[in-house]
Structure 1
Amino acid sequence: MANFLLERTVPLPLDEAWRRITRWPRHGDAVPLTAVGVVPPGPTREGTLVVARSGAGPLAFDDPMEVTVWQPPQDGAAGMCRLEKRGRVVLGWAELEVRPGPGGRTRVIWREEIRIRFLPSLFDGLVLRSSRYVFGRALNRLLRQA
Protein backbone atom coordinates (compact mmCIF):
# COMPACT_ATOMS: atom_id res chain seq x y z
CA MET A 1 0.00 0.00 0.00
CA ALA A 2 1.26 3.48 -0.86
CA ASN A 3 0.07 6.65 0.87
CA PHE A 4 0.97 10.03 -0.52
CA LEU A 5 0.09 13.67 -0.10
CA LEU A 6 0.32 16.40 -2.74
CA GLU A 7 -0.13 20.07 -1.87
CA ARG A 8 -0.25 23.12 -4.10
CA THR A 9 -0.99 26.79 -3.41
CA VAL A 10 -2.51 28.51 -6.44
CA PRO A 11 -3.67 32.04 -7.31
CA LEU A 12 -7.24 30.89 -7.91
CA PRO A 13 -10.50 31.39 -5.99
CA LEU A 14 -11.68 28.31 -4.06
CA ASP A 15 -14.57 27.68 -6.46
CA GLU A 16 -12.33 27.78 -9.54
CA ALA A 17 -9.69 25.47 -8.04
CA TRP A 18 -12.51 23.06 -7.05
CA ARG A 19 -14.02 23.18 -10.54
CA ARG A 20 -10.65 22.43 -12.15
CA ILE A 21 -9.84 19.41 -9.97
CA THR A 22 -13.33 17.87 -10.05
CA ARG A 23 -14.08 17.95 -13.77
CA TRP A 24 -13.45 14.23 -13.98
CA PRO A 25 -13.02 13.75 -17.77
CA ARG A 26 -10.13 16.26 -17.63
CA HIS A 27 -8.26 13.82 -15.38
CA GLY A 28 -8.05 11.54 -18.41
CA ASP A 29 -6.40 14.36 -20.36
CA ALA A 30 -3.81 14.75 -17.59
CA VAL A 31 -2.94 11.07 -16.97
CA PRO A 32 -1.27 9.14 -19.81
CA LEU A 33 -3.19 6.27 -21.43
CA THR A 34 -6.33 7.07 -19.43
CA ALA A 35 -9.90 8.04 -20.28
CA VAL A 36 -12.36 9.03 -17.56
CA GLY A 37 -16.13 8.76 -17.60
CA VAL A 38 -18.85 9.54 -15.07
CA VAL A 39 -21.95 7.48 -14.19
CA PRO A 40 -24.53 8.88 -14.15
CA PRO A 41 -23.58 11.85 -16.31
CA GLY A 42 -24.40 15.21 -14.82
CA PRO A 43 -23.50 16.97 -11.62
CA THR A 44 -21.32 15.01 -9.22
CA ARG A 45 -22.86 13.98 -5.89
CA GLU A 46 -22.39 11.22 -3.34
CA GLY A 47 -22.88 7.94 -5.16
CA THR A 48 -21.51 9.19 -8.50
CA LEU A 49 -19.16 6.65 -10.07
CA VAL A 50 -15.99 8.01 -11.71
CA VAL A 51 -14.45 5.36 -13.98
CA ALA A 52 -10.88 5.71 -15.19
CA ARG A 53 -9.96 3.29 -17.99
CA SER A 54 -6.19 2.95 -18.07
CA GLY A 55 -3.86 1.06 -20.35
CA ALA A 56 -3.92 0.01 -23.95
CA GLY A 57 -5.57 -2.86 -25.79
CA PRO A 58 -5.80 -6.10 -23.81
CA LEU A 59 -3.77 -4.56 -20.97
CA ALA A 60 -6.42 -1.92 -20.22
CA PHE A 61 -8.48 -2.06 -17.04
CA ASP A 62 -11.18 -0.02 -15.32
CA ASP A 63 -10.55 1.83 -12.06
CA PRO A 64 -14.07 2.65 -10.76
CA MET A 65 -14.20 5.15 -7.89
CA GLU A 66 -17.35 6.00 -5.96
CA VAL A 67 -17.80 9.51 -4.61
CA THR A 68 -18.55 8.93 -0.90
CA VAL A 69 -18.13 12.54 0.28
CA TRP A 70 -19.07 15.56 -1.82
CA GLN A 71 -18.77 18.92 -0.06
CA PRO A 72 -18.08 21.73 -2.55
CA PRO A 73 -16.64 24.93 -1.05
CA GLN A 74 -19.28 27.42 0.06
CA ASP A 75 -19.04 31.01 1.26
CA GLY A 76 -15.24 30.90 1.44
CA ALA A 77 -15.18 27.65 3.45
CA ALA A 78 -13.12 24.60 2.43
CA GLY A 79 -14.44 21.90 0.09
CA MET A 80 -13.67 18.17 0.11
CA CYS A 81 -14.37 15.13 -2.05
CA ARG A 82 -13.56 11.51 -1.17
CA LEU A 83 -13.44 8.74 -3.76
CA GLU A 84 -13.38 5.07 -2.74
CA LYS A 85 -11.69 2.82 -5.30
CA ARG A 86 -14.03 -0.09 -6.11
CA GLY A 87 -12.11 -1.89 -8.85
CA ARG A 88 -10.62 -5.33 -9.23
CA VAL A 89 -7.08 -4.01 -9.85
CA VAL A 90 -6.67 -0.68 -8.04
CA LEU A 91 -7.85 -0.36 -4.44
CA GLY A 92 -7.76 2.40 -1.83
CA TRP A 93 -9.13 5.93 -1.75
CA ALA A 94 -8.40 9.52 -2.73
CA GLU A 95 -9.37 12.82 -1.13
CA LEU A 96 -9.30 16.15 -2.94
CA GLU A 97 -9.57 19.28 -0.84
CA VAL A 98 -9.51 23.02 -1.40
CA ARG A 99 -9.13 25.50 1.43
CA PRO A 100 -8.30 29.17 1.82
CA GLY A 101 -4.58 29.82 1.59
CA PRO A 102 -2.28 32.75 2.31
CA GLY A 103 -2.82 36.06 0.54
CA GLY A 104 -6.19 35.16 -0.98
CA ARG A 105 -4.74 32.11 -2.70
CA THR A 106 -6.15 28.58 -2.53
CA ARG A 107 -4.48 25.57 -0.99
CA VAL A 108 -5.18 22.32 -2.89
CA ILE A 109 -4.56 19.01 -1.14
CA TRP A 110 -4.66 15.55 -2.76
CA ARG A 111 -4.33 12.59 -0.36
CA GLU A 112 -4.36 9.06 -1.64
CA GLU A 113 -3.93 5.49 -0.53
CA ILE A 114 -3.33 3.17 -3.46
CA ARG A 115 -2.96 -0.59 -3.53
CA ILE A 116 -2.52 -2.77 -6.59
CA ARG A 117 -4.21 -6.13 -6.11
CA PHE A 118 -1.83 -9.09 -6.33
CA LEU A 119 1.26 -6.83 -6.28
CA PRO A 120 3.49 -7.79 -3.32
CA SER A 121 4.34 -5.12 -0.74
CA LEU A 122 7.93 -5.32 -2.00
CA PHE A 123 6.75 -2.97 -4.78
CA ASP A 124 5.12 -0.36 -2.48
CA GLY A 125 8.07 2.03 -2.89
CA LEU A 126 7.80 1.88 -6.68
CA VAL A 127 4.02 2.37 -6.53
CA LEU A 128 4.52 5.35 -4.20
CA ARG A 129 7.15 7.07 -6.36
CA SER A 130 5.32 6.49 -9.64
CA SER A 131 1.96 7.58 -8.16
CA ARG A 132 3.40 10.80 -6.70
CA TYR A 133 5.01 11.57 -10.05
CA VAL A 134 2.00 10.79 -12.28
CA PHE A 135 -0.63 12.37 -10.02
CA GLY A 136 1.59 15.34 -9.18
CA ARG A 137 1.95 16.15 -12.87
CA ALA A 138 -1.79 15.59 -13.38
CA LEU A 139 -2.66 17.95 -10.51
CA ASN A 140 -0.34 20.63 -11.89
CA ARG A 141 -1.94 20.31 -15.32
CA LEU A 142 -5.50 20.37 -13.96
CA LEU A 143 -4.80 23.53 -11.99
CA ARG A 144 -3.07 25.32 -14.90
CA GLN A 145 -5.81 24.78 -17.46
CA ALA A 146 -9.07 26.72 -17.21
Structure 2
Amino acid sequence: MSVFRIDRATPLPADEAWRRLTDWPAHGRVVPLTRITVLTPGPTRTGTLFTARTGLGPLGFDDPMEVVHWQPPAPGVPGHCRLEKRGRAVTGWAEIRVRDDGPAGDGRGARVCWEEDLRFAVLPRPLDPLTARAGRLVFGRAVGRLLRGGSTAGTGAGADAGHG
Protein backbone atom coordinates (compact mmCIF):
# COMPACT_ATOMS: atom_id res chain seq x y z
CA MET A 1 0.00 0.00 0.00
CA SER A 2 1.11 3.57 -0.64
CA VAL A 3 -0.28 5.01 2.58
CA PHE A 4 1.75 7.68 4.33
CA ARG A 5 1.17 9.86 7.37
CA ILE A 6 2.45 13.27 8.40
CA ASP A 7 2.13 14.46 12.00
CA ARG A 8 2.94 18.02 12.99
CA ALA A 9 2.64 20.22 16.04
CA THR A 10 1.96 23.90 15.40
CA PRO A 11 1.68 26.94 17.67
CA LEU A 12 -1.39 27.95 15.64
CA PRO A 13 -4.83 27.51 17.19
CA ALA A 14 -6.70 24.54 15.72
CA ASP A 15 -9.15 26.69 13.74
CA GLU A 16 -6.32 28.61 12.03
CA ALA A 17 -4.35 25.43 11.25
CA TRP A 18 -7.56 23.97 9.78
CA ARG A 19 -8.20 27.09 7.70
CA ARG A 20 -4.69 26.98 6.24
CA LEU A 21 -4.71 23.24 5.50
CA THR A 22 -8.13 23.32 3.84
CA ASP A 23 -7.46 26.40 1.71
CA TRP A 24 -7.36 24.31 -1.47
CA PRO A 25 -6.00 27.03 -3.82
CA ALA A 26 -3.12 27.60 -1.37
CA HIS A 27 -1.97 24.04 -2.05
CA GLY A 28 -1.16 25.16 -5.58
CA ARG A 29 1.33 27.65 -4.13
CA VAL A 30 3.18 25.06 -2.05
CA VAL A 31 3.03 21.82 -4.09
CA PRO A 32 5.51 21.99 -6.97
CA LEU A 33 4.09 22.32 -10.48
CA THR A 34 0.51 22.15 -9.22
CA ARG A 35 -2.54 24.31 -9.76
CA ILE A 36 -5.84 23.86 -7.90
CA THR A 37 -9.23 24.63 -9.42
CA VAL A 38 -12.20 24.58 -7.05
CA LEU A 39 -15.29 23.52 -9.01
CA THR A 40 -17.99 23.95 -6.34
CA PRO A 41 -19.05 27.51 -5.47
CA GLY A 42 -19.23 28.64 -1.87
CA PRO A 43 -17.35 27.57 1.22
CA THR A 44 -15.94 24.05 1.46
CA ARG A 45 -18.42 21.44 2.69
CA THR A 46 -19.26 17.80 2.09
CA GLY A 47 -19.64 17.49 -1.68
CA THR A 48 -17.10 20.19 -2.61
CA LEU A 49 -15.21 19.23 -5.78
CA PHE A 50 -11.78 20.43 -6.85
CA THR A 51 -9.01 19.33 -9.17
CA ALA A 52 -5.26 19.43 -8.67
CA ARG A 53 -3.47 19.69 -12.04
CA THR A 54 0.19 18.74 -11.78
CA GLY A 55 2.58 19.08 -14.70
CA LEU A 56 4.13 21.41 -17.23
CA GLY A 57 1.98 22.52 -20.14
CA PRO A 58 0.24 19.57 -21.77
CA LEU A 59 2.39 17.06 -19.87
CA GLY A 60 0.74 16.30 -16.59
CA PHE A 61 -2.22 14.73 -14.89
CA ASP A 62 -5.40 15.73 -13.12
CA ASP A 63 -6.25 14.62 -9.60
CA PRO A 64 -9.99 15.32 -9.15
CA MET A 65 -11.15 15.14 -5.53
CA GLU A 66 -14.37 15.31 -3.57
CA VAL A 67 -14.80 16.28 0.06
CA VAL A 68 -16.78 13.35 1.49
CA HIS A 69 -16.54 14.35 5.17
CA TRP A 70 -16.26 17.89 6.53
CA GLN A 71 -16.14 18.63 10.26
CA PRO A 72 -14.20 21.80 11.18
CA PRO A 73 -12.67 21.84 14.66
CA ALA A 74 -14.71 23.28 17.50
CA PRO A 75 -13.98 23.59 21.22
CA GLY A 76 -13.34 20.06 22.43
CA VAL A 77 -14.03 18.56 18.98
CA PRO A 78 -11.21 17.79 16.52
CA GLY A 79 -11.56 18.75 12.87
CA HIS A 80 -11.73 15.97 10.28
CA CYS A 81 -11.82 16.20 6.50
CA ARG A 82 -11.79 13.21 4.13
CA LEU A 83 -11.10 13.58 0.43
CA GLU A 84 -11.74 10.84 -2.12
CA LYS A 85 -9.66 10.93 -5.28
CA ARG A 86 -11.96 10.46 -8.27
CA GLY A 87 -9.56 10.31 -11.21
CA ARG A 88 -8.23 7.71 -13.60
CA ALA A 89 -4.56 8.60 -13.21
CA VAL A 90 -4.62 9.09 -9.43
CA THR A 91 -6.81 7.23 -6.95
CA GLY A 92 -6.97 6.89 -3.20
CA TRP A 93 -7.97 9.19 -0.38
CA ALA A 94 -6.62 11.79 2.03
CA GLU A 95 -7.64 12.65 5.58
CA ILE A 96 -6.80 15.80 7.50
CA ARG A 97 -7.24 15.90 11.26
CA VAL A 98 -6.63 18.93 13.45
CA ARG A 99 -7.09 19.07 17.21
CA ASP A 100 -6.26 21.47 20.03
CA ASP A 101 -2.98 20.65 21.70
CA GLY A 102 -3.12 23.09 24.59
CA PRO A 103 -4.65 22.46 28.01
CA ALA A 104 -8.47 22.61 27.90
CA GLY A 105 -8.43 23.74 24.27
CA ASP A 106 -6.98 27.13 25.19
CA GLY A 107 -5.94 27.87 21.61
CA ARG A 108 -2.23 27.54 22.36
CA GLY A 109 -1.32 25.16 19.60
CA ALA A 110 -2.68 22.27 17.61
CA ARG A 111 -1.74 18.80 16.41
CA VAL A 112 -2.15 18.05 12.73
CA CYS A 113 -2.32 14.65 11.05
CA TRP A 114 -2.37 14.28 7.26
CA GLU A 115 -2.83 10.69 6.11
CA GLU A 116 -3.09 9.68 2.48
CA ASP A 117 -3.36 6.65 0.24
CA LEU A 118 -1.89 7.76 -3.08
CA ARG A 119 -1.98 5.49 -6.12
CA PHE A 120 -0.88 6.24 -9.66
CA ALA A 121 -2.50 4.04 -12.32
CA VAL A 122 0.68 3.89 -14.41
CA LEU A 123 2.89 2.65 -11.56
CA PRO A 124 3.02 -1.05 -10.66
CA ARG A 125 2.18 -2.04 -7.06
CA PRO A 126 5.80 -2.96 -6.23
CA LEU A 127 6.56 0.77 -6.43
CA ASP A 128 4.01 1.63 -3.70
CA PRO A 129 6.71 2.08 -1.03
CA LEU A 130 8.52 4.58 -3.28
CA THR A 131 5.24 6.41 -3.93
CA ALA A 132 4.60 6.60 -0.17
CA ARG A 133 8.11 7.97 0.50
CA ALA A 134 7.74 10.59 -2.25
CA GLY A 135 4.27 11.52 -0.97
CA ARG A 136 5.55 11.89 2.59
CA LEU A 137 8.36 14.17 1.35
CA VAL A 138 6.22 16.37 -0.95
CA PHE A 139 3.21 16.63 1.34
CA GLY A 140 5.34 16.96 4.47
CA ARG A 141 6.92 20.07 2.96
CA ALA A 142 3.53 21.34 1.77
CA VAL A 143 1.95 20.90 5.22
CA GLY A 144 4.87 22.73 6.82
CA ARG A 145 4.63 25.62 4.35
CA LEU A 146 0.85 25.88 4.68
CA LEU A 147 1.11 26.00 8.48
CA ARG A 148 3.84 28.65 8.27
CA GLY A 149 1.77 30.65 5.79
CA GLY A 150 4.62 30.61 3.29
CA SER A 151 4.80 29.70 -0.35
CA THR A 152 7.32 28.40 -2.80
CA ALA A 153 7.20 31.12 -5.40
CA GLY A 154 8.47 29.82 -8.68
CA THR A 155 7.94 26.13 -7.95
CA GLY A 156 4.18 25.97 -8.30
CA ALA A 157 2.02 26.94 -11.19
CA GLY A 158 -0.16 28.98 -8.86
CA ALA A 159 -3.83 28.57 -8.19
CA ASP A 160 -6.91 29.38 -10.17
CA ALA A 161 -9.27 31.75 -8.47
CA GLY A 162 -11.43 29.43 -6.46
CA HIS A 163 -13.66 29.11 -3.50
CA GLY A 164 -12.84 27.39 -0.31
Aligned-pair CA distance for 1:100:
1.5
2:154 is the counterpart of 1:141: no
Question: What SS does the aligned partner of 2:44 have?
Answer: coil
* Structure 2 gap segments, 5+ residues each: 151-164
Candidates 119, 123, 136, aligned match of 1:119: 123
Partners of 1:14 and 1:76 within 8 A in 2:
no
1:17 and 1:136 map into 2 onto residues whose CA distance is 15
The aligned length equals 146
Match of 1:92 in 2: 92
* Structure 1 gap segments, 5+ residues each: none
Moved more, 98-107 or 57-66: 98-107
Partners of 1:8 and 1:107 within 8 A in 2:
yes
2:48 partner amino acid: T
TM-score by length of 1: 0.95
2:62 and 2:41 map into 1 onto residues whose CA distance is 17
TM-score by length of 2: 0.85
Match of 1:39 in 2: 39
Question: What SS does the aligned partner of 1:55 have?
Answer: strand
2:23 is the counterpart of 1:23: yes
Match of 1:109 in 2: 113
Task: Let me know the Cα RMSD of the aligned residues.
Answer: 1.3
Deviant stretches of 4+, over 4 Å: none
1:85 and 1:50 map into 2 onto residues whose CA distance is 10
1:64 partner amino acid: P
Aligned-pair CA distance for 1:119:
1.2
1:15 and 1:99 map into 2 onto residues whose CA distance is 9
Moved more, 102-111 or 92-101: 102-111
1:140 partner amino acid: G
If asked which structure has higher relative contact order (CA below 8 Å, sep 6+), I would say: 2
CA deviations 1:101-137 (Å, max 9, x no partner) are: 1453200100101111131112112111111100000
Aligned-pair CA distance for 1:52:
0.3
Aligned-pair CA distance for 1:75:
2.4
Partners of 1:2 and 1:124 within 8 A in 2:
yes
2:96 partner amino acid: L
Higher share of residues assigned helix: 1
